[in-house]
Amino acid sequence: MKKKLNLYWFVLVITFLFSNLVFAQVSFANDSIFKPQAAAENRVNFDGQGFLIDGQRTFIASAGIEYARIPRELWADRLLRIKRAGMNAVEIYTFWNYHEPVEGQFNFSGNRDLDAFLKLAKSLGLYAIVRVGPYYCAEWGSGGYPVWLQFKDGLTVRQHNAVFEQAVSNFWDHLFPIVINNQINRGGNVILVQLENEHDTGWGTDGVSDPYFKFLQSKALSYGLEVPYFFSGLNHGTEPGGTTPWSSSGRTSPWFTTEFWTNWFDRFGETPDDVVAKDRATWKILSNGGNGYNYYMFHGGSNFDYFNSDPADKSGASYDYGAPIGEGGVLRQEYYKFKRAAWFARSFQSILETSDNATGTYSTAASNSNISVTARQSNAGRILFLDNAGSTDQQTKVNYGGVSYPQTGSLTVKSKEIMPFVANYQVIPGVTLTAAPTRILGITQQINTSTIVIYGQSGSPAEMYFKVPAGTVITSGASALSQDASGNMSLKTTFPASGVSNYSFQTGSSKVRILAVNDALADNTWFVNAGGSNYVVLGPQYVGDANIVSGSLQINAETTWQNASNFPVVAYDSGDSAISMGSITTPGAHPGTLTLSSWQTMSGIDKAATGYNTTGWFSSTTGPKPMGIDGDVSAYAWYRTTANLQTAGTYSITFDKALNNMIPYVDGNVVPSANVSTTGFSANLSPGNHTIAVFVSHNGRDKLFAYRGSLNPRANLGIIGSANIANYNAPTALTSWKTMMTTSSAVGTTPPSSSDTRWTSYTLGGDPFSGAAGYAWFQTTLPSAGSSSIKEVSFNSVDDNSWVYLNGVQIATNTGWNVPFKVNVSNNWNASGANTLTVLVQNTSGIGGINSPVNFEEYSNRSELKNWVQQGGPGDPNSPTGWSTLAGGATFSGPQFFKTTFNASPPGGTGTNPIWRITTTGLSRGSMWVNGHNLGKYPLMISAPGVYVPETWLNTSGTNTLVIYDEQGKRPDQVVVQPEASASRDVIAYSTSPGNPPPSGIVSGNTYRIVNRNSGKVLDVKDQSTADGAIIQQWSYSGGNNQKWVFTQVTGGYWKIKSVNSGKLMDISGASTADGAANIQWPDNGGNNQQWQLVDAGNGYYKIKNRNSEKILDISGASTADGAPDIQWPDIGGTNQMWQILPA
């Protein structure tokens, strides 16, 4: 049955599913925020009208993203996409089990380097909202709890519990110093912190009276938390802004939503209805008085390794979420809609962060009664929001200040659109935008020029009205701009069919420019910064890196393989005219499905063999224990024991609980699937000793949504509890059921008689509760059985809580849904007549009832199987031995490894960028690795076109290894590696000086020597060292591999330079920006101090500039001696700072 929630949360989910209803939001009693400490209040603060950062009113447009779901090498790419969408913040979780998978072993390095992620986001101008747990959710395995927590005696989660709080403290001791040191008042970018997540006891500032929340609060503050913080979240929902505007009067905190759901976890991609609904919900936040929002998710990413939650969440390797930025980096239509709203909100944040509701004043401003008007006003200006909730486009005028706008023609407000009308806004000192009956994309400051980008349907009115000081001069577009003697400046024109219309006027040394584009080109309009200057770039589907190269603006522009919309590329700086940009690279051919080498295979069932050496396995003198008790956190485990039988016969081996997937073996031979049930298996066995081995796997760990209490047994997986062996009769399926609704008063009472006329027929899996909380009786008759046998009823799942009766006597209870359980019915058995089984079920919310199958089972001579050993993990997918050629027609009886190779290279900074997917056709369940990277679990559970292969995990050599671990040993003959055409893209470099392209003679992936112009000597790793931190110096060329370097182009025209000898990168030590910092070698960590720009110095020489410090490589003291160190230094034009890059 469907994932169960308590009633409160069921309402929340139903809200999502029916987001087209009138009111789709979750309103919590408390959405307040705790004020910052004194040390931070000058950097980040707020009041009831909005946020202040560094004393400036700031609208927070935040993007939900998880660094744990993105390879570190792609962090910069995804963050830049977020920045280009107009976002100024990111919101992240810090999953506990990601950083402390084994108790006491903390990992904040590599892909888990939270500090590096926060600093990278800061370098891109993005603030951070950090959600520190200890509970997270996010459809992440165990909601973020480490597996080892479930084995700590006395621990209960999410409540005042000494054992749990000590574990939290130990984790936070390592997590919080990173967060604290990255607070905005300490030079970082963290502006808000969330403690806990979606806890029903405390949201916002509510909950401080609860000892658990008091612990979280005091602990966080003890570390030095100084920025504002809150509990659990703020205003989660699909339309969190609701439908009614509110007043900021009386509020003490700004209105913010930490989870504005862009889609849902069971989605891949978006629908047109999604785009319309989420765009509308965004503008509802703005129009109703919101001061910021966080889109959850803006980029979903992938569940690598074994971090996916259970199948109820449709959770496999992909967490695409249908988000604006897809799993492979594709930009969807929601992205472009959200970009428009974010740039608008940030451009007019001085209004939105100080406003109050003015709807009563302007509700009748639209001439068309089908257009409703909400309004916000403050001393900084007014915004009227024209809302067309209908299904057809509407024409209207707007009456404002006694004038009807537009003065020529009418505005067309599209179906479901909310269009802003800005008035009385000061653009620059002395210039006020008195009325703007047009759509404004955004405003950017370009030295002395304030550029306003407006957009609309081709041919529709483009009008703006200003109050300007005397002496204002029209500098372009005089045919459409006019002014009168009273200082009224008017723009009256129409939007162009193509290209950009440029209008400007100047007052003193300041200029106001208006760029008018049609609706289609608005999506392809970008505000970028390069070399410290702001530019407006129009034309590309996406603008990635933007840099100044040899004095010219150079951008990397993307075009998708599908749905390409191509416009001429132009840029505007602070000058008067557009600057044409020409392409300086070409993308290359688009590859198709890749050729795979012949498959190899390696057994995954060796642990089932009789006599297998289990030395080092976890052992239990009683029954089997939950998966993970041995410290393994994978989705796989093997269990083994022996059984010594006296007589031959059909035997049943049963477990108290057997969760998820099970493949049993007896004496190394697989048990046929027809003999396997959800709680055990049967086999024909001879007298003597037998080896029993069981392979188990899970499809993901329950995210424990809204759960409080002990994790044991709630979070247990595997085969658990006592294991029994007995002579066995085939089970009888119980299919004839009836039901009767009742109330809570039925608990503890005698069940109704089987002859009661209120009973109605029931089919297992049905929902007699109709999605509502309640109680119901269920009844069936058990088959006849021998009086001396052991008799049990096996339930697959009862939804939610149950009381079980036999012949009117209560014999068992069970709490929780989706958990198999057994009930022994032997003790109250009626040997001489009918036996009636009755179950009282409490449904807490949502659908409820009894799931199929329910079986009656009969045993004799039962005894307990003890002395189990177990070991987690699939084995070694990277094993260099044990492989053999996969023979045609070969079949396998359990888990099996398969290996192949394919040729594909990681993309360079420019060129074609295919996004590779691995299809799983013909496979069962399992995991995949590419070049040793665990891509996560399949099947994907959602409609993704295959398992995503991060392009940065491909080998620069072009040869890649794919390993598949299939749980049932299904052959990979139908598996293909193919590009996802909708996400694949071409990256083309454009320059304002296309005649001066970047170094064209240097080919990404090729090997070179680097020769100093002053000394004629080459860069050399000292003493041919392969050690981290080895010094790079100059030395006479000898041809050694320590003098040879592989150049690999990355985004933005930068290069990584790798030593052939060590495989490590050229790196400025400690990411220093100081003059004289040493050039060393270091493993690739994705840092900007490992990336270099090749600046043409003329005559075949280059300056090699560090991306992090913007200083260039320099031989210290202009020495010509062997061994002179290579350092970074400001560019002084010396020949010791110039280099030839020659083939090696």
Topology, domain 26-343: TIM Barrel (3.20.20)
Query: What is the mean pLDDT of the segment spanning 1034-1046?
Result: 92
Q: How far is CA 745 from the centre of its chain?
A: 45
Cα–Cα distance between 1019 and 1010 in angstroms, integer?
Answer: 6
41 catalytic? Reply is: no
**Which of 1090-1093's residues contact partners 24+ apart within 8 Å by CB, and which partners?**
1090/1056, 1090/1065, 1090/1066, 1091/1050, 1091/1054, 1091/1055, 1091/1056, 1092/1054, 1092/1055, 1092/1056, 1092/1057, 1092/1066, 1093/547, 1093/549, 1093/1053, 1093/1054, 1093/1055
Which residues are bridge partners to 960 per DSSP?
902
Which ranges of 493-628 does DSSP label H, i.e. alpha helix? 519-523
Range with lowest mean pLDDT among 13-27, 128-142, 387-401, 434-448: 13-27
What are the tens digits of pLDDT across the range 620-661? 999 999 999 999 999 999 999 999 999 999 999 999 888 889
259 catalytic? Reply is: yes
Which pair of structure tokens corresponds to residue 634? 């994978």
Q: For 240-261, what is the HEC assignment?
A: CCCCCCCCCCCCCCCCCEEEEE
Cα–Cα distance between 137 and 142 in angstroms, integer?
Answer: 7
Residue 7 has pLDDT above 70, yes or no: no
Query: What is the mean pLDDT of the segment spanning 129-147?
Result: 96
Q: What angle do the packed helices 114-123 and 162-181 form, to 10 degrees?
A: 40
| CATH number listed for the domain at residues 424-523 | 2.102.20.10
pLDDT of residue 26: 42
| pTM of the shown model | 0.84
Closest CA to 820 of 854, 778, 859: 854
Which class is 884-989 in CATH? mainly beta
Closest CA to 826 of 850, 801, 809: 809
pLDDT of residue 994: 74
Distance separating the N- and C-terminal Cα atoms of the chain:
64
Which of 3.40.30.10, 2.80.10.50, 2.60.40.10, 3.90.550.10 would CATH assign to domain 1007-1143? 2.80.10.50
Cα–Cα distance between 879 and 875 in angstroms, integer?
Answer: 9
What rounded mean pLDDT belongs to the chain? Answer: 93
Residues 77, 83, 86, 91, CA torsion sign: positive
pLDDT of residue 930: 98
Which pair of structure tokens corresponds to residue 343? 């740039």
What are the tens digits of pLDDT across the range 517-526? 999 999 999 9
CB 944 within 8 A of CB 987: no
Cα–Cα distance between 1090 and 531 in angstroms, integer?
Answer: 19
CB 1138 within 8 A of CB 1034: no
Same CATH fold assignment for domains 605-729 and 884-989: yes
Cα–Cα distance between 620 and 349 in angstroms, integer?
Answer: 63
Kindly report the backbone phi and psi dihedral angles of residue 279, in degrees, each rounded to the nearest multiple of 5, phi listed first: -65, -45
pLDDT of residue 997: 52
Residue 323 has pLDDT above 90, yes or no: yes
What are the tens digits of pLDDT across the range 563-606? 776 789 999 999 888 999 999 888 889 999 999 999 999 999 99
10 Å Cβ neighbour count for 447? Answer: 13
Residue 14 has pLDDT above 60, yes or no: no
Percentages helix, strand, coil for the chain (3-state, rounded to 5) are: 15, 40, 45
What are the tens digits of pLDDT across the range 849-902? 999 899 998 888 889 999 999 999 999 999 999 999 999 999 999 999 999 999
3-state secondary structure of 150: helix
Cα–Cα distance between 372 and 360 in angstroms, integer?
Answer: 11
Which residues are bridge partners to 794 per DSSP?
822, 855
Cα–Cα distance between 1017 and 1120 in angstroms, integer?
Answer: 8
Which pair of structure tokens corresponds to residue 684? 């024909």
pLDDT of residue 1059: 95
Q: Is 243 exposed, middle or buried (0-12, 13-18, 19+ CB in 10 A)?
A: middle
3-state secondary structure of 523: helix
3-state secondary structure of 266: coil
Cα–Cα distance between 237 and 240 in angstroms, integer?
Answer: 5
pLDDT of residue 860: 83
pLDDT class of 787 with cuts at 50, 70, 90: confident
Closest CA to 972 of 601, 592, 594, 591: 601
Tell me the CATH architecture of domain 358-423. Sandwich (2.60)
Query: What is the mean pLDDT of the segment spanning 496-518?
Result: 96
Query: What is the mean pLDDT of the segment spanning 235-262?
Result: 96
pLDDT of residue 735: 93
Cα–Cα distance between 771 and 17 in angstroms, integer?
Answer: 14
What are the tens digits of pLDDT across the range 105-126? 999 999 999 999 999 999 999 9
Letter for the amino acid at 159?
Q
Q: Are strands 649-658 and 916-918 parallel, antiparallel or unpaired?
A: unpaired
Helix, strand counts (H, E) of the chain: 11, 78
What are the tens digits of pLDDT across the range 1078-1102? 999 999 998 999 999 998 877 778 9
Close Cβ partners of 972 (under 8 Å, ≥ 6 residues apart): 599, 898, 900, 922, 923, 964, 966
Residue 975 has pLDDT above 90, yes or no: yes
pLDDT class of 1 with cuts at 50, 70, 90: very low
Going from N- to C-terminal start, the domains of the chain cover 26-343, 358-423, 424-523, 605-729, 884-989, 1007-1143
Cα–Cα distance between 633 and 872 in angstroms, integer?
Answer: 8
- CA-to-CA dists, residue 662 to 112, 576, 795, 945, angstroms: 32, 71, 17, 28
Close Cβ partners of 791 (under 8 Å, ≥ 6 residues apart): 782, 785, 824, 825, 826, 829, 856, 857, 858, 859
Upstream peptide bond of 36 is cis (omega within 30 degrees of 0):
no
Q: What angle do the packed helices 114-123 and 72-84 form, to 10 degrees?
A: 30
10 Å Cβ neighbour count for 807? Answer: 17
Q: Is 99 exposed, middle or buried (0-12, 13-18, 19+ CB in 10 A)?
A: buried
Which ranges of 359-479 does DSSP label H, i.e. alpha helix? 359-362
pLDDT of residue 769: 96
What are the tens digits of pLDDT across the range 44-81? 999 999 999 999 999 999 999 999 999 999 999 999 99
The active-site residue out of 259, 334, 463, 858 is: 259
What are the tens digits of pLDDT across the range 364-417? 999 999 999 999 999 999 999 999 999 999 999 999 999 999 999 999 999 999
Q: Which helix (H) or strand (E) holds 979?
A: strand 977-979
What are the tens digits of pLDDT across the range 657-715? 888 899 999 999 999 999 998 889 999 999 999 999 999 999 999 999 999 999 998 89
Residue 20 has pLDDT above 60, yes or no: no
What are the tens digits of pLDDT across the range 962-974? 999 999 999 999 9
Query: What is the mean pLDDT of the segment spanning 791-798?
Result: 91
Rg (CA), the chain: 33
CB 844 within 8 A of CB 800: yes
pLDDT of residue 999: 61
Kindly report the backbone phi and psi dihedral angles of residue 82, in degrees, each rounded to the nearest multiple of 5, phi listed first: -65, -45
Residue 6 has pLDDT above 90, yes or no: no
CB 648 within 8 A of CB 685: yes
Cα–Cα distance between 36 and 225 in angstroms, integer?
Answer: 9
pLDDT of residue 29: 64
In the chain, what percentage of residues exceed pLDDT 90? Answer: 85
| CATH number listed for the domain at residues 605-729 | 2.60.120.260
CB crowding 122-133: b at 16 or more within 10 Å, else e = bebebbbbbbbb
Dihedral-angle region of residue 269 (phi above 0 means left; psi in -120 to 50 means alpha; beta otherwise): left
Kindly report the backbone phi and psi dihedral angles of residue 360, in degrees, each rounded to the nearest multiple of 5, phi listed first: -60, -30
3-state secondary structure of 990: strand
CB 905 within 8 A of CB 667: no
Q: Are strands 1092-1098 and 579-580 parallel, antiparallel or unpaired?
A: unpaired
Query: What is the mean pLDDT of the segment spanning 297-313?
Result: 93
3-state secondary structure of 716: coil
The active-site residue out of 139, 196, 198, 334 is: 198
Q: Check residue 204 and report its DSSP letter.
A: B
Cα–Cα distance between 712 and 142 in angstroms, integer?
Answer: 12
Cα–Cα distance between 313 and 305 in angstroms, integer?
Answer: 17
- CA-to-CA dists, residue 365 to 380, 398, 872, angstroms: 20, 5, 68
pLDDT class of 796 with cuts at 50, 70, 90: confident
